[in-house]
Amino acid sequence: MFGKCLTRPSVWRGALHASSPIRAFSQSALRAGYSVPGLNNEVKYQQEGVQKVFSPNAFESNWTNYQRGLLDKLNEYVAGTDLDNKSPLDVAIATARQADLATVFNLASQAHNNHFFFRNLSPVPTVMPARLTELVHRVFTTTENFKTEFLTTAASVFGSGWVWLVFDESRKLRILATYNAGTPYSDAYRRQNVDLNTNADPARHTTNFTEAQSFQVGRTGSQVARVTYPLPLLCCKVWEHAWIEDFGVDGKEKYLDAWWDSIDWNSVNSAIPEGTDITRSRIAYDRSRSQYGATGFVNE
C-alpha cells in the first residue's frame, strides 16, 4: 500500500489541475492536511484493546499506525491540487473514474473505509435497537439468520476487502462485498470485481454500484436534501492484517465472531433514515465532518 508508486505526485498534479472538473482552491487558502481522527473510547482501546477483537497492539497497528500511513500518503498526493482540503470520501468519489489517479483513490477510499469500520465498534456489548431489528427481520427473518449470512459472506471473501450492510434504493437492507479499497457508494464505483462466492447475482450487484439511486428526504433551508443509495450502515474489514496479529494466519473466522460481538449497534441504527418511508429531513453520514470536512454523503 505504501510502496513506491508508479506515478509520482508531482507528475500528475499538473494534469489534475487541468482536467479535473472540481474547482481549485485559492493558492492562498490555508491547508490543514489530514490527520488521524479521534474515535470514541480511543484511550480505552489503546489501553485495553477492543473487547476480544483487537488487543491494544493490534488496535495500534490497525487504527493508529495504518490510518496515519494512509493519510500521510494521501496528504503527499493531494497537497497543492484541486483535491486539497476535501474529505477522503470526496477524494475517492472525484478520482473513482480516473485511471491515472488510481493510487489516490485507493488511499482515500481505504482511509474512509477503515474509519467507518472502527467508528462502529464498542468497548462493551450492545443490543440491536428495535428499529434496526425490524428492518433486519423484514429481509433476513431472524437476527441469527442475518448474522449467519453476513459472517458467511465475510468468510467467503477471497483476498482483501470489506463487507457492508447497506440500505438500498428499495429501502431494504442488503449485504454487499467490495474488494481491496472498494466502497458501496455509487459515485465512487471503480468497476470492482464481483466474487460469485459472495454475490449470486452479479448483474444485480453491479447495477447497484453503477446506477446512483437518490430519494428526496426533505429540505434544509432552501435546498432539497437527497440520499444516494446504496447507503452504508456497517462494514467489516476483511484484510488479513486485521486478524493475523491476534488470531494468526488461519484465524479469520474467530476474528469475525469477535468482531460481531464488538459492533456498536446503536451507531449502526443511528445511520438509518428515520422510518421506512425516509422521513428525516437530513441524513448526515460523516459524524466526524469537523475532522474530515464535507461528508460527501448528502447531495447538497
Q: What is the tens place of the pLDDT at every residue in 114-129?
A: 999 999 999 999 999 9
For the whole model, what pTM was predicted? 0.75
pLDDT digits (tens, 9 = 90+) for 89-102: 999 999 998 889 99
Separation of alpha carbons 262 and 121, rounded Å: 6
Separation of alpha carbons 286 and 294, rounded Å: 8
Structural element, H or E, at residue 39: none
What is the pLDDT confidence band of residue 16, given thresholds at 50, 70 and 90? Answer: low
Grid cell for residue 238 = 476483511
Separation of alpha carbons 210 and 100, rounded Å: 20
Residue 223 has pLDDT above 50, yes or no: no
Cβ contact 189:172 at 8 Å = no
Where do the CATH 3.55.40.20 domains begin and end in the chain? 130-299
- Taking CA atoms, 164 is separated from 8, 113, 153, 279, in Å, by 32, 10, 10, 23
Domain 130-299 -> CATH class: alpha beta
pLDDT digits (tens, 9 = 90+) for 164-175: 999 888 888 999
Task: Tell me what percent of the residues of the chain surpass a pLDDT of 70.
Answer: 66
Grid cell for residue 63 = 487504527
Sheet holding 231-237, edge to edge: 173-179, 161-167, 231-237
Separation of alpha carbons 231 and 204, rounded Å: 16
Q: Which of 1-5, 12-16, 245-249, 255-259 has the lowest mean pLDDT?
A: 1-5
Separation of alpha carbons 46 and 63, rounded Å: 10
Sheet holding 213-220, edge to edge: 213-220, 223-229, 298-299
Find residue 197's DSSP bridge partners: none
Residue 292 has pLDDT above 90, yes or no: no
